């Protein structure tokens, strides 16, 4: 499902514009920003690799406490094309 093309990461035919990773092995790949300010944080649409791999909407406000605790971090742009679990 994840592939590199011209130095960018894609999920299927959708370009990943931002990604997050956790110590627990979860990945959140943003392909669209649905709303810039949803309760003070953006609302994203994208692909999540967690217990199961699935498409869906996720809210940055849910990730923020984990980011502050150092358990989740934004993937650097240079590392993004290589991120995620591959088959």
Q: Where are the domains of the chain?
A: 2-82
- Residues 36-83 have pLDDT tens digits of 999 999 999 999 999 999 999 999 999 999 999 999 999 999 999 999
- Per the CB < 8 A criterion, the answer to whether 8 and 30 are in contact is no
pTM here is: 0.95
The angle formed by the CA atoms of residues 72, 20 and 60, to the nearest 5 degrees, is: 80
CB 28 within 8 A of CB 40: no
CB contact at 8 A, 10 and 16? yes
């Amino acid at each position: 499902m994840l592939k590199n093309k011209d130095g960018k990461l894609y999920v299927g035919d959708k370009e990943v514009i931002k990604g997050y990773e956790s110590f627990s092995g979860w990945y959140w790949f943003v392909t669209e920003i649905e709303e810039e300010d949803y309760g003070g944080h953006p609302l994203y649409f994208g692909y999540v690799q967690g217990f199961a791999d699935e498409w869906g909407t996720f809210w940055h406000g849910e990730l923020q406490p984990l980011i502050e605790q150092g358990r989740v971090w934004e993937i650097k742009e240079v590392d993004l094309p290589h991120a995620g679990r591959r088959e």
